[in-house]
Amino acid sequence: MKQRNAECSRSKILDVAEVEFANSGLFGASVNIIAEKAELNKRMIYHYFDSKEGLYQEVLKVNFNKIFELEKNAFSLNIHEQKENLSQKIPQSIRQGIADYYNFLKKNPNYVKLITREELAGGPYIHKLIPDTFLLGFEKLLQIYELGVKNGILKKGLDIMQIIISINAMCFIPFTRQEMLKEIWGADYDQKLEERLEHITNMILKEITENTHITEGDAN
């Protein structure tokens, strides 16, 4: 029972701290406010995480673990598919990988805020946590790319790291410019977000496929 209570308290602190750090950043967030909102004694925060910086790093780690789990399933493809199926399966896999990341950002606004604030602060903690997450997606897409090139489906000579960065940037921007886009799109905001995903996906597929006529219908 004691261990369960400790896990519950720790989880509650992390949930509250995530919101505070997302809204105020590391230096703007207050341990006193986090303790008050978590309805726990401030000393418990230092007991579990040593310092505000330790708590912040743990919040980042929790969020990177979320994206890591996503990346493990992204760009999945059975490499033993028959060649005639690959012309559909490869674009499908790329389309789904982009959609999964885009929808993750849509459903996790605190992740977007945390990463944005960390970058603006010069990324002092991001370097310790992000490389494995980023490279996992790169390696999986690289495998699909090499298979696609081998079977004449994807263009030769592309820099897949640049493609990954482009996917990341194009997916990220709508969720760092939400207020501006709400003003521009008004009542159509939700619909336009979905259209934005389709636009991003089609741009990437057009850039990397040999047959630039691939559409949503062709990929499904």
Identify whether residues 208 and 108 lie together within a single domain: yes
Q: What does the pLDDT average to over 23-29?
A: 94
Distance, in Å, from the CA atom of 107 to the CA atom of 207, rounded to the nearest integer, reads: 27
CATH, residue 10: 1.10.10.60
Q: What is the pLDDT of residues 67-120, one digit of tens each?
A: 888 877 777 776 555 556 888 889 999 999 999 999 999 999 999 999 999 988
151 in the same domain as 177: yes
pTM for the structure as a whole: 0.86
The closest alpha carbon to 99, from 217, 216, 218, belongs to 216
Cα 59 to Cα 119, 168, 217, distances in angstroms: 15, 21, 40
Range of the domain at 74: 59-219
Beta carbons within 8 Å of 198's beta carbon, 6+ residues apart: 216
pLDDT of residue 199: 97
Report the domain count for the chain: 2
How would residue 215 be classed by pLDDT, with cut points 50, 70 and 90?
A: very low
Distance, CA of 114 to chain centre: 11
174 and 92 in a single domain? The answer is yes
Q: Is the pLDDT of residue 220 over 50?
A: no
Whether 43 and 63 map to the same domain: the answer is: no
According to the model, what pLDDT value does residue 143 have?
Answer: 87
Domain co-membership, 85 together with 40: no
Least confident of 60-74, 76-90, 143-157, 169-183: 76-90
Domain boundary among 13, 31, 50: 50
Q: How confident is the model at residue 123 (pLDDT cuts 50, 70, 90)?
A: confident
Residues 99 and 207 in one domain: yes
Please say if the pLDDT value at position 185 is more than 50: yes
Instruction: Identify the burial level of 144 via C-beta atoms within 10 angstroms of its C-beta, where 0-12 means exposed, 13-18 middle and 19 or more buried.
Output: buried
**Phi, psi of 209, deg, nearest 5:** -95, 150
Distances (CA, A) of 136 to 74, 141, 168: 9, 9, 14
Q: Is 130 in the same domain as 149?
A: yes
Please indicate whether residue 6 or residue 207 has the higher confidence score (pLDDT). Answer: 207
* Report for 5-14, 128-137, 209-218: range of highest mean pLDDT: 5-14
Q: What pLDDT, on the 0 to 100 scale, is given for residue 33?
A: 96
Q: Could you tell me if 71 and 126 lie in one domain?
A: yes
Concatenated DSSP letters for 192-209? HHHHHHHHHHHHHHHHHB
Which residue stretches of the chain are H helix? 2-28, 31-38, 42-49, 52-73, 83-107, 109-120, 131-150, 160-176, 178-185, 189-208, 216-219
Q: Are residues 17 and 113 in the same domain?
A: no
Give the count of beta carbons closer than 10 Å to the beta carbon of residue 100.
16
Same domain, 128 and 19: no
For the chain, percent of residues with pLDDT exceeding 70:
88
Check: CB of residue 137 under 8 Å from CB of residue 74.
Answer: yes
Q: Is pLDDT at 211 greater than 90 in this prediction?
A: no
Q: Is the domain of 70 the same as that of 178? A: yes
- What tokens appear for 28 in the block? 């703007």
Q: Are residues 6 and 39 in the same domain?
A: yes
Q: What is the CA radius of gyration of the chain?
A: 21
